Amino acid sequence: MLLKSLKILVLILPFNLFGSTVLEPGDSSEFDVNKMIMHHIKDAHEFHIMDINGHPISFPLPIILWTDNGLVTFLSSEFDHDDSGVKVVSRKNQQFVKYHEKIFYASEFNSGSYISYSQEGEVLNKKPFDFSITKMVFSMFISMLLLVLIFVLTAKSYSNSVKGIPTGLSKFTEPLILFIKDEVALPMIGKKNYKKYMPFLLTLFFFIWINNVMGLIPFFPFSANLSGNIAFTLVLATITFVITSLVANKDYWKHIFWMPGIPVPMKLFLAPIEFLGIFIKPISLMIRLFANISAGHIIILSLISLIFIFKTIWLAPASLFFSVFISLIEVLVVAIQAYIFTMLSALYIGSAIEEHEH
């Protein structure tokens, strides 16, 4: 965690290789905390490593666009790093410009930019369909490969073991697998049906946990705040919602739309509330994971930013100490959030397939 905090400190520290600061004494420029934090937690078309003498060092990623003239591909390094809408990339008689990590068709150059605005300040430029490999997508591909590798090696270690005794990687994965089975699947789904959903629950837990951990460790330079992206959590919550809706039995729907055992006026009152609950459950899954992971990154970055807000290096020890302390808490949070998401998903599935005596 110390390495993680030092990594963030190095990434936002305005310096060059020769030790001269960019913000010289008497410099009137202010450190924009909000801009720095949003830059590090949001998605991007490249991995920004550091700045040297004002020149950004980045790992470019492929830009994949479906335009009016067909498929267009090129590397993100052809755009400016600051994505201010100044530099244009031309392909197939079309011009593209990147602005706030979104790619638009370039308009006529006006007021130092190829971006046009309405009177309300909204961007008027049209956008092509963007299928680019952003840093979060790239990070997700890495986590998918790690997930497959972990389970393949685990299965292989069991096939080579004597009398089923875990060896190698399975010594680490077996307690986690048994934990999901005994503490999540069995209590929430029941002994009769839990095996059917174990592959989904294990994939969900390990996939979320691996992505959360990758956002914490100094996986330089390919770490990304994937679980802090609401589109990512939306997809996971939608998968749980779809599975729950498809496997739900008639008792589940009956308890939602016409709850047995209560007076008719109360049924009419509860039916719309229960119906909204069908959608509130996955929404709560989505927001909980997104908010908790994003909050941890924002707190750490805010603590380190105190050095530049107060413009003194003497605050660095305290700032670094508290950022390391929060990072240690985040080690627990990333595992707890993966467990909570998996546990609630199992709970929703279990309630949908539960058989009632009445």
Among 77-91, 170-184, 204-218, the minimum mean pLDDT is found in 77-91
Q: Which residue has the higher pLDDT, 232 or 84?
A: 232
Cis peptide before 56 (omega within 30 of 0): no
Residue 28: pLDDT band by 50, 70, 90 thresholds? very low
Say whether 128 sits in a helix, a strand or coil.
coil
Query: What is the tens place of the pLDDT at every residue in 244-277?
Result: 999 998 888 888 888 888 888 888 888 899 899 9
Q: Which of 124, 131, 177, 181 is nearest to 155 (CA)?
A: 177
Question: For residue 335, how many other CB atoms are within 10 A of its CB?
Answer: 16
Residue 301 has pLDDT above 90, yes or no: no
Q: How far is CA 172 from the centre of its chain?
A: 25
Residue 225 near residue 136 (C-beta atoms within 8 A): yes
Query: What is the tens place of the pLDDT at every residue in 166-207?
Result: 777 888 898 999 999 999 999 999 898 899 999 999 999 999
Residue 329 has pLDDT above 70, yes or no: yes
Average pLDDT of the segment spanning 226-233 = 90
Q: Which helix (H) or strand (E) holds 253?
A: helix 250-257
Question: For residue 82, how many other CB atoms are within 10 A of its CB?
Answer: 10
Query: What is the tens place of the pLDDT at every residue in 109-135?
Result: 777 778 888 888 788 889 999 999 998
Residue 2: pLDDT band by 50, 70, 90 thresholds? very low
For residues 109 and 5, give the distance between their C-alpha atoms in angstroms, rounded to a whole number.
41
pLDDT at 23: 41
Q: So where are the chain's domains?
A: 68-132, 136-353
Q: Which of 48, 14, 12 is nearest to 29 (CA)?
A: 14
pLDDT at 29: 54
pLDDT at 26: 40
Average pLDDT of the segment spanning 79-108 = 82
Query: What is the reported pTM?
Result: 0.82
Q: Which of 13-27, 49-63, 234-248 has the highest mean pLDDT?
A: 234-248
Residue 335 has pLDDT above 90, yes or no: yes
